Amino acid sequence: MSRPRYQVVPAAYVALTRPGRAGHETGREVLLQRRQGTRFMDGWWACAAAGHVEWGETALRAAVREAREEIGVEVQEADLVPLATVHRACVLHDDPVEERMDLFFTTERWRGEPRVAEPEKSAELRWWRLADLPERVVPHERKALTALAQDRYPTFLTHGFQQRLTLVAAVGRNGAIGDGSGMPWHLPQDLAHFKRTTMGGTMVMGRGTWDSIGRALPGRRTIVVTRDRDWRAPGAEVAHSVPEALLMAGEGEVFIAGGGQLYAQTIAAADRLVITEVDQSPAVPVRFPEIDPDRWQEVSRIPGEGLQWVEWRRDGSVASVSG
């Protein structure tokens, strides 16, 4: 099956900077906005102005327009200094809006006093020391701002291309994994296997899976996907969509830990499946997606008591693993 033509969505970002305040050893500062109401990375800090490049518009012109629309200041194209280009991808390649080319510009020259001009999208503006940014900066924007702090520009960066997804699940003979609120079995040996598999890694799970576990598991970073904008829990980082969760997760291996909807949304993009085949057929409604033998190859099978641990690799990635 041929792939659709590759396409990216371009966006322009403006990082307003100023010297440290007179009489204070604050170092150079950058103006950031705290996002709200956008349904993506809300509550996170980001460049003060940013947006898509419109049809027929240069990235420089888009940066000038976004600065005017979002923070009410006038910037001249000639004063915009190219900072970084961030080529960003999401492993969920079925949605081209998640394939991005982010063009960052910086300037210390503008007219007007920055203000929140679109309060439906921004909760506040605040100056931050480049050397001491807040913890929750949108991950790909942090990369560009770090380059700015180190005077490394213009530069080219990537984000998301080294991410790999591993789905971890216990599955009955009939494909069952649960009823949406918990697992239909208690298997201490498999819980130990799950711990060994995911220890030290980043897990992404749905709200129902989190509720069935009941707490943050030690030694692992946990990102919970939920539509509830007000939900919080100790030890959990909150995302409101799968692409948002994967952006937060960053590079390297990411473990998808359930439930059924999350498995269904990510199996096509996964590189590895770690499946516990349970010798039971519980009458529960939630099923694991079908493992297509034309796309997946079994690379190991270890028997246990009433179960087997099976690892699958996407066909085409097996040679590099076994070689």
pLDDT, mean of residues 252-260 = 96
Cα end-to-end distance, the chain, whole Å: 27
State which residues form the domain around 231.
Answer: 163-322
- Tens digit of each residue's pLDDT (9 = 90 or more) over 215-224: 999 999 999 9
Same domain, 238 and 291: yes
Q: What pLDDT sits at residue 257? A: 97
Q: Is residue 2 part of a domain?
A: no
- Residue 116 and residue 251 share a domain: no
Do residue 61 and residue 202 come from a single domain?
A: no
**What is the CATH number for 176?**
3.40.430.10
CA distance 17 to 2: 46
Asked whether residue 32 falls in the same domain as residue 155, the answer is: yes
Same structural domain for residues 111 and 220? no
Q: Is residue 212 part of a domain?
A: yes
Query: How many structural domains does the chain have?
Result: 2
Question: Domain check: are 105 and 235 in the same one?
Answer: no
Range 200-219 average pLDDT: 95
- DSSP secondary structure letter of residue 137: B
Q: What is the pTM (predicted TM-score) of this model?
A: 0.89
Specify whether 313 is located in the same domain as 195. Answer: yes
- Asked if 152 and 15 sit in the same domain, the reply is yes
Task: Provide the token pair at 60.
Answer: 């420089």
Tens digit of pLDDT for each residue in 129-158? 999 999 999 999 999 999 999 999 999 999
CA distance 131 to 140: 17
98 band by pLDDT with thresholds 50, 70 and 90: confident
89 has a pLDDT exceeding 50 = yes
Domain boundary among 106, 139, 159: 159
Other C-beta atoms closer than 10 Å to the C-beta of 84 total: 25
**169-201, pLDDT tens digit by residue?**
999 999 999 987 788 999 999 999 999 999 999
Flag whether 3 is in a domain: no
**Contact 123/134 with Cβ under 8 angstroms?**
no
Classify residue 1: in a domain, yes or no. Answer: no
Q: Are 97 and 6 in contact (CB under 8 A)?
A: no
- Asked if 241 and 225 touch (Cβ cutoff 8 Å), the reply is yes
Q: Are residues 149 and 169 in the same domain?
A: no
| 116 belongs to a structural domain | yes
Q: Which of 127, 159, 191 is the last residue of a domain?
A: 159
CATH of the domain at 13: 3.90.79.10
Asked if 40 and 55 sit in the same domain, the reply is yes
CB–CB of 255/203 below 8 Å?
A: yes
Which residue, 159, 188, 217, sits at the end of a domain? 159
> Has residue 315 been placed in a domain?
yes
Shared domain check, 228 and 85: no
Q: Output the pLDDT for position 93.
A: 64
262 and 152 fall within a common domain: no
